[in-house]
C-alpha cells in the first residue's frame, strides 16, 4: 500500500498525504506517512479518519471492498433471491454479510461466487440460516 494517496480532514480543511510504509504490530496496522517524522508532525492526524480512493486499494483475488458488496443480491442454488446485503460486519473468525438483519459468514463453504458486475452473490446456506 505504499505510495497510496490518502485524503484527510473534513470537507473544508481537506488535504492529501501519501503512505510511506505499512506494517502490522500487535494486530494493528502501523502506518508511516511521507513527511511525518516526529510526534509533533503527527499531531494533526490524531483522531482523524484517512480515506483512500477505492481504485487505489490493491485487492487480491477473492478480496472485496465492503461498499462493493452492499446492495448485492444473494441467490440460493435454486436461483431464489434471498435478500440484499445491508452491510458487512467484521469479526476475527470471518466477515459477515448482513442480509435481512441476519448474518451470513463469508466463508467458502457458504459463498459459491460473487459477481460484482451483476451485483449477485450465489450462496449455499444451511437450512434456516436466514430465518
Question: pLDDT tens digits for 15-66?
Answer: 788 888 889 998 888 888 888 999 898 888 888 788 888 888 888 888 999 9
Higher model confidence: residue 127 or residue 121? Answer: 121
Q: Where are the alpha helices (DSSP H) in 1-131?
A: 39-42, 66-69
Averaged pLDDT of the chain: 88
d(CA 22, CA 38): 16
Domains of the chain: 5-56 (no CATH), 66-123 (2.30.30.240)
What's the whole-number mean pLDDT along residues 117-127?
96
Instruction: List the beta strands (DSSP E) in 34-131.
Output: 50-52, 73-75, 81-90, 95-99, 102-105, 111-115, 120-123
Highest mean pLDDT among 9-13, 53-57, 124-128: 124-128
Question: pLDDT tens digits for 62-85?
Answer: 899 999 999 999 999 999 999 999
Q: Is the pTM for the entire model greater than 0.75?
A: no
Q: Quickly state the pLDDT bin for 2 (edges 50, 70, 90).
A: low
What's the whole-number mean pLDDT along residues 115-126?
96
End-to-end CA distance of the chain: 40
Amino acid at each position: 500500500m505504499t505510495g497510496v494517496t490518502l485524503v484527510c480532514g473534513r470537507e473544508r480543511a481537506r488535504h492529501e498525504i501519501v503512505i510511506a510504509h505499512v506494517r502490522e504490530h500487535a494486530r494493528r496496522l502501523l502506518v508511516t506517512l511521507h513527511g511525518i517524522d516526529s510526534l509533533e508532525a503527527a499531531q494533526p492526524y490524531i483522531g482523524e479518519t484517512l480515506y483512500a480512493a477505492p481504485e487505489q486499494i490493491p485487492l487480491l483475488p477473492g478480496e472485496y471492498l465492503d461498499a462493493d458488496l452492499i446492495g448485492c443480491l444473494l441467490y440460493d442454488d435454486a436461483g431464489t433471491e434471498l435478500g440484499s446485503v445491508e452491510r458487512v460486519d467484521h469479526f476475527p473468525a470471518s466477515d459477515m454479510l448482513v442480509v435481512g438483519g441476519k448474518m451470513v459468514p463469508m466463508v467458502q463453504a457458504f459463498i459459491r461466487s460473487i459477481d460484482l458486475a451483476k451485483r449477485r452473490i450465489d450462496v449455499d446456506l444451511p437450512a434456516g440460516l436466514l430465518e
